[in-house]
Structure 1
Amino acid sequence: MSGGDDVTSSGQTDRRRAGDDAQVIVVGAGPAGATMAAYLARAGVDVLMLEKSTFPREKVCGDGLTPRGVKQLIDLGIDTSEEAGWLHNKGLRVLGGGVTMELDWPQLATFPPYGVVRPRQDFDQLLADHAVRAGARMLQNTTVTGAVVEDRTGRVTGVRAKTGPERTQVAYRAPLVIACDGVSARLALSVGIDKRDDRPMGVAVRRYYRSPRTNDDYLESHLELWDRSDPGEPRLLPGYGWLFPVGDGTVNAGLGILSTSKAYGRTDYRALMKTWLAGTPEEWGFREENAVGKIQGAALPMGFNRTPHYQAGLLLVGDAGGMVNPFNGEGIAYAMESAKLAADCVIHALARPTAASREQALRHYPVAVRQALGGYYRMGGIFSKLIGNPLVMRVATRYGMPIEPLMRRFVLKLLAGLYDPKDGDVMDRLITTATRLTPSA
């Protein structure tokens, strides 16, 4: 990050070296990358965003955002109104232990009182286009294969990539590189940052179905997933099934399983989903003849399962840094939230006059995400281990679900990360205190 200093039209100091392609390279144009690029571009930083696919493109996801995700969209300046194409929902319908309960999103100062659904095929392009309008440059069909590391200093000074229809091998250089390349984490792996085995992982599968439930006012979560592959010994799995209305005539149906179960990696998840959906009422439409596309799956990196989040010119953001919530498998909100924190550190670093001072600002990023989410994620890790025990899962579902005040005032807030840390009610204060007392290492 040394070299000649010029000042851009916005007043942002440009510290790139001769031959650099940008001040900052962002790898990946999903929610983390597009959010990062938008905030940097607004601050006058010259950002080059590299996306391996070509928009529009699909992603395996539930397509639903809780109010925590909606807040990030609003902060970014995205119109989240229904007129702008977002399907709003009132809350979460939970089924388990023979109980069905509709839990409205809590009324909070920190988060809006509604969630939204929008297919990732449309959602990701909307965010990427937003970043481009803010001033970011984007190259599509460009697959980053690894980091360029300076021999003398060990710093990441760019990336290697294959681009275009001919898959031409190229290198792009910049003083800072932001890894928003998802669960594959190719950049992190290329510099020796491996996955942590002491943190939970998840796997999710989903499929779209034509269904009359396409305009439901609630996201729906089924807490009892039974593996009946062995008829003599059905197993209750740690995870949940979801039915998220999309509003276009279809419903996104899927399920997620945690690595804390003995069944993780040993279960045919696609068969499990078909078995689960076969048990739903036929009039809902979740049958093979109403299916749209294939069942697709993806891994969910949870609870900061890849660290350090900053190392020698490389920042890990979103799924690349294991930012998925261990409580509920939500990733988009936390990808955008970590991108906002990272962008703030990068903007301040680029404004500083010395290399030592810039490095100090960059090293604050892992501190910032740890302060924001570390204790909460560690609690989520403990939760995931507990429900990995079928007995604990069965007791929690059978005896916890019927207690509506507990579910409405505490469990929903905890699992969805929806609480006011400063001016909330007694349950908010309880969750806030617990996250502060829980070690975040």
Structure 2
Amino acid sequence: MRQKLRKITIIGAGPAGASAAFFLAKAGIPVQILDKAVFPRDKICGDGVSSRAFYTLFRMGIRGIEEFDRGQRIDDVILFDWFGQKRKLEAARNMFGNGFSTIPRETLDARVLEKARDAGAVLREGISIREIRRNSQGFTLVHSEGEEDCEILIGADGIHSRVRHLIFGSHFRETEKSFAMRAYIRNVRLNHPQSYYFIYLREIFPGYGWIFPLPGGRANIGFGIPSDKLKKEKRNPFDLWDLFLKHPILREELTGGVWETEPKGHHIPMKTDKRFLYKEGAFLCGDAAGLVDPITGDGIDFALESGQLVAEDILEFLHSSAKNQLGEYYKKRCESRIRKRMEDQNSMKKILFHTFLFDRFFRMAKDQPKNTILSRLLLGIADWKEWLRFFFV
């Protein structure tokens, strides 16, 4: 075993940071997480959790949706297209039987973070990063409580990552982001309380709107739209929100509901670059690395998975007798397991996500075999062969 590292610091205690911390701490490696928030905290998100996410959650000892007190199991998908047609589609499950679900980020993040702390990770809350400087041993962090050093730095601090900006010299351009708005509502009686609602409007395409149900008559309501489309068309997000709420489906499904929150907006990264995964002792994972599905906007599964891969890279470096370089394993595995999938999704989006093609897309999806493929397309788990089969077979 190589000499132990002096200190590993993770910036950001969301799913990516907590995942990395869990797998390091579980292996007996001292690690700390710094976050500007105090947990539990709300996080603007659609709250959809894919079946893929449960592969990593399972390894953390979280075996199913029943372990979240405010989680809702999802059995199928209800699609409403801009022609007014409605379809009920099956939602796929993973090999362990876990399906898709809706879990408020306040609940999900607190549970994953609890696992990391139980494994031995140290959480320091309410700490804002102001500056990061390189030194002869690694990094000096300047934050709201002073200064400290670390040898390895993991940036899991989201789309506005300080690590990405200060160490990698990068930020996400307008064309590399989407904008989403969401609000919570209670006292609703959804016709399909265990279904994802996907609502397609021409005004926000290639984005979409959603109703994601939660237990106790609650739901997460929102929509996403490419940021450059929003800017190019000079659309006000709140005007789009009002337009969205006037949709007949929302008026029907949300009748009698009481809004718990005002609509809140946030940006979602929609592009990754292999240059921004590792650089001389610093890692990026989750949203900070842009690891988000460009079609669905879902990043929780990639966040959990990339955090685990970062931890495995460090453990490989520490324990291997071979001359492995720090960062090599992560870049290689992230490329094959996450970035390749993202690039495929991005290519499919560029080629196929056009209004005239989706006019045909919606008109074609009337028979059961195509509905099965359609469900996989909407949930972001279809491949090129399925897309081509849908359009041309």
Same fold by TM-score greater than 0.5: yes
Describe the superposition over 1:264-314 as per-residue Cα deviations: whole angstroms up to 9, x where unpaired: 672222221222122235452268x72111111111102315832000100
Contact 2:270 2:291 in 1 (8 A): yes
Show the 5 A alignment for 1:282-361: 282-285=251-254, 290-304=258-272, 307-352=275-320, 357-358=323-324, 360-361=325-326
Unmatched tracts of structure 1, length 5 or more: 1-10, 17-21, 163-167, 228-235, 420-427, 435-441
Bigger relative contact order (CA 8 A; separation at least 6):
2
How far apart in 1 are the matches of 2:346 and 2:150? 36
Shift in Å, 1:376:
2.0
- Percent identity between the aligned chains? 24
Describe the superposition over 1:123-142 as per-residue Cα deviations: whole angstroms up to 9, x where unpaired: 21111111100100000001
Quick check: 1:100 aligned with 2:65?
Answer: no
How far apart in 1 are the matches of 2:67 and 2:134? 47
Residue aligning to 2:14: 30
Cα pair distance change 1:247/1:43, threshold 3 Å: same
How far apart in 2 are the matches of 1:116 and 1:347? 31
Contact 2:175 2:228 in 1 (8 A): no
> What is the SS of the residue equivalent to 2:169?
coil
Residue aligning to 1:146: 131
Q: What is the one-letter code of the residue matched to 2:148?
A: Y
Residue aligning to 1:75: 59
Residue aligning to 2:341: 376
Residue aligning to 1:230: none
Q: What is the one-letter code of the residue matched to 2:112?
A: L
Quick check: 1:176 aligned with 2:144?
Answer: no
> What is the SS of the residue equivalent to 2:92?
coil
Shift in Å, 1:147:
2.2
Cα pair distance change 1:181/1:273, threshold 3 Å: same
Shift in Å, 1:380:
1.8
Q: Work out which of the residue numbers 273, 276, 292 in structure 1 matches 2:241.
A: 273
> What is the SS of the residue equivalent to 1:219?
strand
Cα pair distance change 1:317/1:108, threshold 3 Å: closer
Residue aligning to 1:401: 365
Cα pair distance change 1:80/1:258, threshold 3 Å: same
> What is the SS of the residue equivalent to 1:183?
coil
Describe the superposition over 1:44-71 as per-residue Cα deviations: whole angstroms up to 9, x where unpaired: 1100100110012111111121211223
> What is the SS of the residue equivalent to 2:182?
strand
How far apart in 1 are the matches of 2:355 and 2:248? 23
How far apart in 2 are the matches of 1:429 and 1:326? 15
Shift in Å, 1:113:
4.3
How far apart in 1 are the matches of 2:35 and 2:337? 28
Show the 5 A alignment for 1:58-69: 58-69=42-53
Residue aligning to 1:14: 4
Q: Work out which of the residue numbers 283, 303, 328 in structure 2 matches 1:363.
A: 328
Shift in Å, 1:174:
1.9
Describe the superposition over 1:227-268 as per-residue Cα deviations: whole angstroms up to 9, x where unpaired: 3xxxxxxxx621100000111321100001124637667222
Shift in Å, 1:120:
1.1
Contact 1:400 1:407 in 2 (8 A): no
Q: Work out which of the residue numbers 405, 408, 412 in structure 1 matches 2:375.
A: 412
Cα pair distance change 1:83/1:15, threshold 3 Å: closer
Greater displacement, 138-147 / 195-204 = 195-204
- TM-score, normalised relative to structure 1: 0.79
Q: How many residues align?
A: 385
Show the 5 A alignment for 1:101-250: 101-106=87-92, 108-109=94-95, 112-150=97-135, 156-162=138-144, 168=145, 170-195=146-171, 197=173, 200-210=176-186, 211-213=188-190, 216-223=193-200, 225-227=201-203, 237-250=205-218
- TM-score, normalised relative to structure 2: 0.88
